[in-house]
Chain A
């Protein structure tokens, strides 16, 4: 369209007059008008059309199953509506405030082995753990630590997982909360939890605390009762100890039961792949496999291979280097230490009590060592590793106390400490690997009425012993064996731990120490590690240090020798004696 030209009109009325002259006639003649035609062009103006069609939109869509409404969920909904309260507990504070500037959520991320886009999106689009708990009306008795919610987010999407947190960080709570969420979501319906026998009641108690609405069946009692317990319908969670599982497997489990999730507690139990325990748990029909352990590597990387044969069969091989193993398992293992996550946890103070043997102990020790080495030499090629082992044990026991004179430099040290601890109303745990040594200590500590917790104490009495230790202010000392007392117990009210003698494996020592140094510890935990100088204990201590390096190497992806266990040669090397034949066995 053209723009109109503006026109302005100006009045031109100017006064005129005609004067008499020769021109005036000419002015009276009319004007002659000559016209000329100009042809206009008739060309059509050019136009251009711009497309305003809506953009073509391509889409992809994904539908997600809403899951099943489990009886558990229905029960909870009923309670929420005010008809009844199955939980019977005061409401916990909300897990997280809704929204807000500083809201940090713990998102569930898909494992790397989930390839299909729809499966990955299923996990990406799940609510954060905080919302799963809050919107699902899942009350918790205590506010979880952020790292515990991360543990839940780790376990939730995984079918193959090892939760390898250091002892005391709450692996039990993380596993139970995740199981609870999965059951409420209808993603799993049947769970088998397998744990060492002494921990069954602990798990039962923890389920009552962290998931009180979930029905739990403990497999126990006589065979007929156990058969009935295995076959019970509508029981989402079964707890069995390893020994019972081995006993019942053929009659009640094999070919009859299938589980959506099998959880192994203290999973280092299955590190030996050829062991019957490992074979039985590996043959359980299951969809998800989780292993809980604070010590996935105790002696060598083979330990981890054993655990992964359950968690993800065939995934690792013995030909892999520790670095390669570390890379392969990175997405399947979650390992945190207290130093990583619990910045507010009281410190753990180590005190190496390096003591000299008393003169009479030294005399007995030297005599026993000389006799032992002489005997090994005389046996020549008939000497077996068990003969060496017997000598080691005999010498270690003399380091504890001389059987002949009852002299003990460790006891001389320990007595003063215990007197002080008892006088101040504190609690101490004393660990030894021998029940005989614990018995001897019991006699020495008689004025302090020490409690005992070891393999010769019936399981039925153990919970009561722990409760007495916890509540009775007059009982300041408990004597524990590494075997019975190193796993699953919560003794965070004790501030002192004594390792009267040293275990062969630092991981077991750590477990023992962490009975006291864990969440809920009221103050610093002082750990006293006894080592008698210039004895076999000092030589073993050096090997323990090397084992710690192995653990770090796999979980930190560093190169290291395949095994740093106490090998045959190392055991022989504890003495100034060389076996005259080639050996290939390992201790």
Chain B
């Protein structure tokens, strides 16, 4: 394979290479041209179109344009002279094609490099890598050792993640079966306003069209396929919508008051760490007082510690612990 045979290079290269070459030459032709390029000229100057039949060329050209648009290349259709009814042509506007100038300081470039490791979801990891690659191509030198950061890992294993993410970006309505805890799944139709990762769990927030209210859905509770409904750009997110504030409603409200437990000496280390006071109660036991912020998780912690702890007060929580233990011994039914 040599450069000297420029005019008649067809050669032994495989189908993919020939197609890549055709696509590249099409991009270059549309990019360097001053005006719109008519189809006839495209067919004449781009290797690979020339020797096709009319019909084959049309099909090939349509598919090529579509594939280039899919990788983000903006191909415009228009006409050079609006006064005359000449045949429309194609072009790629350089300002829409090229990455704008972006100068990153070394520590900023390092942050970008570390960002490339965040996504543990295959498609988003690939998209992030492509973005970083384009920045490298623009001359940014990425040296991740310039910065020591906590490395967050953003996983998204829920099957509903990808279709919901796409629907949020496209502003497209979706429907899906959803199971609330302790209930049978029901079908929901929403305008998805946003997605949210809350302490490692994914949610979608949106306008539930059947219930006519804003709801939040945990992605792991979507029990079946997410269906796209209708076209893109079908709704606007109401201006001023604060997804973070909506999500904050998720967090359990901190309670108040105190709880008292008896702890066997040397046991219940996590409880002792956040104790308000610890007093020796004799016989190898301590009385420990705690701020009661989350009764359910305190009851759970107490049950895990088994005979090393006794919940003394409040009485209601003591009764709840007893019920839990009785369920574990089989002397009380599981609800």
To the question of whether A and B form a pair in one complex, the answer is no
Which residues from chain A sit less than 8 Å from chain B, CB to CB? Answer: none
Which residues from chain B sit less than 8 Å from chain A, CB to CB? Answer: none
